[in-house]
Structure 1
Amino acid sequence: MTSLKTSKFATPIDLYRVISRVWSGDTSSPTDAWSPSNPAQNHCSITALVVQAYFGGDILCTRTVGGTHFYNLIDGKKWDITVSQFKEPIPYDDTASSRESALADTSPEKYALLTSRLEAEMNRV
């Protein structure tokens, strides 16, 4: 996985505005649990990887009712751009994680698919 740090995104919120348009069932983990009415659902690990590729920082995780949830820490600020998938507040415990752990929750193929769609969407805008 290569760094994507040269981007049009000033903040993770700018990234969210684009990536949320390209999340889909074939990029979520697990694939069969995704719904277009909740596009962030099951995209935390893959999105944390993309956020880190663009902005650096660390990947964190926490346990939720549904399992492990991944998000980012960039320059001392917590960023969770998939938080909208949850109906209840997340009990963040900010456990240090890694690209390897987040990737183990998704796949290199899904990461490549999501980043290629993201780049295509950026070029379309």
Structure 2
Amino acid sequence: MTAGCPSLIALYRKLREAWSAETGGKWRPDNPAAGQCSVTALVVQDELGGEILKTDVDGAWHFYNQIDGRRVDFTMSQFDSPIGYDDLPSNRQDAFSDTSAAQYELLLGRIRSGS
């Protein structure tokens, strides 16, 4: 995550409140970012623009964003160890292959409604 940018910090706080088992099946109260990467990358792109990137983490794709040339990964806390980012270009279709329209619409709605 990029520290010091008010819009990023505000969005991160909204996301942490909005994530749930309904927005990502691996969600846990003690690890709210778990299973939220693809749906979060989509919503972050909607809200702040930029690109969607991906990297392989233990044999599975992990999605995150690049905004104004800076890597923004709001869900990195789901992992126990540091991520070796590959910063591979991705897209919305790729991220949607790891989530559902219902999860995306729910998270986007929660972010935009403020609840």
Establish whether TM, by shorter chain, passes 0.5.
Answer: yes
Structure 1 unpaired stretches of 5+: 1-8
| Higher alpha-carbon deviation: 55-64 or 107-116 | 107-116
Match of 1:58 in 2: 51
Q: Percent identity?
A: 48
CA deviation digits over 1:50-93, x for unaligned, max 9? 11001111000000015110000011011001111111000100
Matched, 1:41 2:39: no
Amino acid in structure 2 at the alignment position of 1:71: Y
For 1:47 and 1:12, the matched residues in 2 are separated by 13
Write out aligned runs for 1:27-106 (5 A). Answer: 27-28=23-24, 31=25, 33-65=26-58, 67-106=60-99
Write out aligned runs for 1:114-125 (5 A). Answer: 114-120=107-113, 122=114
Q: Is the 8 A contact 2:19 2:27 kept in 1?
A: no
Match of 1:14 in 2: 10
Residue correspondences, number: 111
Structure 2 unpaired stretches of 5+: none
Instruction: List, as ranges, runs of 4+ consecutive aligned residues in structure 1 with deviation greater than 3 Å.
Output: none
Q: TM-score, normalised by structure 2?
A: 0.90
Residue 116 of structure 1 deviates from its aligned partner by 1.4
For 2:112 and 2:51, the matched residues in 1 are separated by 22
Q: Is the 8 A contact 2:53 2:90 kept in 1?
A: yes
CA deviation digits over 1:71-119, x for unaligned, max 9? 0001101100111111100010000000110011001111111111222
RMSD, aligned CA: 1.5
Q: TM-score, normalised by structure 1?
A: 0.83
For 1:67 and 1:12, the matched residues in 2 are separated by 26
Q: Is the 8 A contact 1:23 1:40 kept in 2?
A: yes
Q: Is the 8 A contact 1:41 1:85 kept in 2?
A: yes
